[in-house]
Structure 1
Amino acid sequence: MHLQGALDEIMCRAFPTTLKGPMRVWFSKLTPNTVSTFKELNGHYVTHFIGGQRHRRSSRAILNIMQREDESLKSYVTRFNKEALLINEADDKVLITAFTSGLKRRELLFSIYKNDPNMMAEALYKAKKYMNADDAMIAGGDGQRKRERQDDPSPN
């Protein structure tokens, strides 16, 4: 509309027809006759919705994520990915380094670096294969036998 040279009054009246959900609710709560130009309306809109966005973190924050002693690989991967989404412009090499630095499972670490991944997706694919293997062993009863051996203090 702006490119077509529409008047401010027309743009202001047409603007609410493009809104849905929370944006429509916000617009309906504006005090009548407080906005006189489309530029003002646009400024209110941007200020309200940009201000509500969450602050992104630097990649430094992800370097402190470590797998806890009692934490499953699946739980660690989920927690790591959730934090990685908060990172502003996360580089794959930084993500891989942070992910592997926090791992407790050395055999997975070896497997990841054996293939020297360039993308975080490759490291996560390896982790997923390990999680699937764990699930299969538990379903087959090997997980229970492994836990029994760990609990048994007598040497075999």
Structure 2
Amino acid sequence: MGIQKVSDDARCRIFPATLSKISQEWFFKFPPTSIVSWEMFIKEFYAEVNQLVEICQKEGETLKGYIQRFMRAAVGAKMVRDEGKIMALTAGVRRHSSLWNILQKNGVKSTQEFLDRADRYINLEEAIANEGKSPTDDQGPKEDPTKATNGFGRTNGNEKIMGRMGE
């Protein structure tokens, strides 16, 4: 069907039928007649998707802090598929950092793979940050040294930080 030659009104009526269930839920959150043109719809759509693309690791922000901030935002971006979330998460890593360089050479295919790679760099960041501190400098809870944890407090590689993306 040549949708390019269809009026804006017809596009807005046809379009919901082409969406996935999650996308339809997003679309129908808008009150009737609140989207009055195709251009307005496109603007709202990109606003939903771009909320993740615009999240980048800030100068001086730890990798762990960036990932936690991204994951909090990702929970609200239900319309964005996991592949899009992974792409945005990867793209937001500080450019030319060690992790960024590795990700440029070898991309990741899942959130778990990204988190597993990031854990190594988080542990390194934390070790460097704690270098020179005496044991009494840290007043936080002491961890059991017999349990190996990663930068997110996980004890094995199968748990995900802050829940599953998209739930």
Shorter-normalised TM range: 0.3 to 0.5
Q: TM (normalized to structure 2)?
A: 0.45
Structure with larger Rg: 1
Higher normalized contact order (CA 8 Å, seq sep 6+, divided by chain length): 2
